[in-house]
Amino acid sequence: MSALKGSTQAAIRWSLLVVIAAFVGLCVLLGIDAFPKLIDAGPQEWVFIACLVIGGLALSYVYAALRDHFRGLERLRGDVLTMASRAHAVIPPDSADDGGAELKQIHQAVRQLADYVKRTEAVPDTHLESILRSFSLPIIVTSPEGVVGMVNESAKDLLAPGALAVGQHISASVDADSFRAAVLSAGDPYRPVSTTLNVPDREPLAAKVVRLHEGGIVVHFLADPAAGALALEYDLEVLDPLPEPGPIADDTPLAALPMLVLDTETTGLDVKNDRVVSIGAVRMVGQRVFRHVTFHQLCNPHQPIPPAATRVHHISDDEVAVAPDFAETWGSCKPLLEGTVMVGYNIPFDIAMLRHESRRAGLPWQDPPFLDILLLGVALIDDLPNDNLEGLTQYLGVDVSDRHNALGDSLVEAETLACLLPRLKDKGIVTYGDATAFSQKAKRILDGQKRSGWYDDSAGIEQVEQAG
């Protein structure tokens, strides 16, 4: 029904154009006194005009139906490209709404295939999880830096109930110095090393530490085992080391591009006078989002936050009253930016805010290399429903349930870019230089950003002009 509705609406628009064009054509053929001649026209002339209008309606309907059909095919192809490169990617349920019954059937078949593949791939994980739940000794698995990737219920109960979780640093429950010493003592991979770990407010705990070949660290404590099946919390992607950033050049492949996806919350949209109240960021390399390498900090703007801004980001004056100022907040975040490309939705706004805040605080500033998800999305997707982030995420099937603050927005934007990258590759956009040049096709958006004063800085203008 939606396909018929869309095609009918398009047909009406096109038929009106055809009728107007036909009337203008008749006027040209009949001369400047065409209208009186049409009034006096005989039945044959009116039959000809009626056939012309009906033919125009029919052709317009066929054109609209074919256009929607091929647009639907193109969108479905893009969704499949995303799924082929993203293990947890999904096909949006409405991606075939305007393509007709045949496309809906293909869409349903692809979704069923994707569900089958995911169920099949999950079987080994389910068995392995059941085996790990049977281990009664307290076990923690961390990255070499100490970020927890797996912890069982026995370990939580031993250390401090509620104090340790996946994604946190082990120092939440174990002395960081003793953990580092234990990691350094672990030699060859898979060879357990006996050690003791200091725990606040209690005696040191005997443990064995094993270094995994891939870089992870397994710690199991020599404590009384628990009884029964144990709850298990894990995210083993935390164990993957973050690749070292390298020099950024136009020929740097997007698949290996080190990025910092960043978002700011502010007191308003005036980049010269409004202030930053929160910064959130997450590291990303190609399509891989390193969710354990993040930054999120409130920032004291030293001016009241307007109620309209609070209604958007839910940050109040009381919350930022004890927060550090911009200089301290940015000083903590800036190391994550080194050797990366800054990425975000409408990212020139965030760059402009950071630029003015840095200059206001007397900090050195140089505009970083960047990619704008908005520009890329508008340049890539012809039938994008609207230009806001919600429209882009809905089109791509990105989960926005975590979008509630600067870090949540950064994570959503990172997933959005990860869905765009395989579609860009399909278009031949495979390097950073390709992407910056391609984004300039969204000229309407780019012109609006320039009018807003986000490119007033000479470095920002230079990058845009070079990319164009």
pLDDT digit string, tens, across residues 417-443: 999 999 999 899 999 999 999 999 999
Measured CA to CA in angstroms, residue 173 lies from 155, 169, 198 at distances of: 10, 8, 9
Residues of the chain with CATH 3.30.450.20: 135-239
Of 248, 261, 281, 287, which Cα lies nearest the Cα of 432?
248
Phi, psi for residue 435 in degrees, rounded to 5? -70, -40
Residues of the chain with CATH 3.30.420.10: 254-467
pLDDT given for residue 332 in this prediction? 94
Contact present, 208 and 182 (Cβ < 8 Å): no
pLDDT given for residue 319 in this prediction? 92
Contact present, 344 and 417 (Cβ < 8 Å): no
pLDDT given for residue 249 in this prediction? 94
Contact present, 219 and 140 (Cβ < 8 Å): yes
Report how far residue 160's alpha carbon sits from residue 156's, in angstroms, rounded to the nearest whole number: 6
Q: 254-467: which CATH topology? A: Nucleotidyltransferase; domain 5 (3.30.420)
Contact present, 83 and 89 (Cβ < 8 Å): yes
CATH 3.40.50.1820 correct for 135-239: no
Q: Which residues pair with 403 in a beta bridge?
A: none
Confidence of residue 302 (pLDDT cuts 50, 70, 90): very high
Q: Is the pLDDT of residue 265 over 70?
A: yes
* Mean pLDDT (whole number) for 36-60: 67
Eight-class DSSP state of 190:
T
* pTM of the shown model: 0.71
* Mean pLDDT (whole number) for 225-240: 73
Contact present, 264 and 350 (Cβ < 8 Å): yes
Residue of higher predicted confidence among 38 and 294: 294
Q: For 103-162, write each residue's pLDDT tens digit.
A: 777 777 777 777 767 666 666 677 777 877 777 788 999 888 788 888 888 888 888 766
Q: Is the pLDDT of residue 321 over 80?
A: yes
Identify the helix (H) or strand (E) that includes residue 432: helix 432-439
What is the distance, to the nearest Å, from the Cα of residue 452 to the centroid of all Cα atoms in its chain? 24
Confidence of residue 77 (pLDDT cuts 50, 70, 90): confident
Residue type, 142: T
Contact present, 10 and 68 (Cβ < 8 Å): yes
pLDDT given for residue 465 in this prediction? 39
* Mean pLDDT (whole number) for 56-64: 69
Report how far residue 81's alpha carbon sits from residue 424's, in angstroms, rounded to the nearest whole number: 10
What is the distance, to the nearest Å, from the Cα of residue 224 to the centroid of all Cα atoms in its chain? 44
Our CA angle for 104, 107, 109, nearest 5°, is 110
Average pLDDT, the chain: 80
Other beta carbons within 10 angstroms of residue 23's beta carbon come to 16
Structure tokens belonging to residue 364? 């050195």
226 sits in the region (left: phi over 0; alpha: psi -120 to 50; else beta) called beta
Identify the helix (H) or strand (E) that includes residue 462: helix 458-467
Q: Where are the alpha helices (DSSP H) in 86-175?
A: 101-133, 153-159
CB within 8 A of 254, min separation 6: which ones? Answer: 286, 421, 424, 425, 429, 430, 431, 432, 434, 435
Contact present, 422 and 291 (Cβ < 8 Å): no
